[in-house]
Amino acid sequence: MPDRYKRRWLGPANATIEVVVVGDYEEQGSAEVDGLLRLFTKETTGVPNIRYNFVHFPVNQACNPVVPF
């Protein structure tokens, strides 16, 4: 994943797990996984072990004509 896409991380910098999701908030699946991973980065039983970044990739042809739908 190019560094230019890794801009806004949630979770600790020293986490052993890094998750990068490439998606579109207009898609239900992307919104659901974003919500879940945001919860995992706010571990309430100790220090979270997940660092998370969402990279927006529009799947609407009006914004991104190369997508098939």
pLDDT of res. 12: 86
pLDDT of res. 25: 85
pLDDT of res. 6: 63
The rounded distance, in Å, linking the Cα atoms of 45 and 42 is 9
pLDDT of res. 44: 64
What pTM value is reported for the model?
A: 0.70
Return the half-sphere exposure (C-beta side, CA atoms, 13 A cut-off) of residue 53: 17
pLDDT of res. 34: 93
Mean pLDDT, consecutive 10-residue segments, the chain of 69 residues? 72 89 87 90 75 83 70
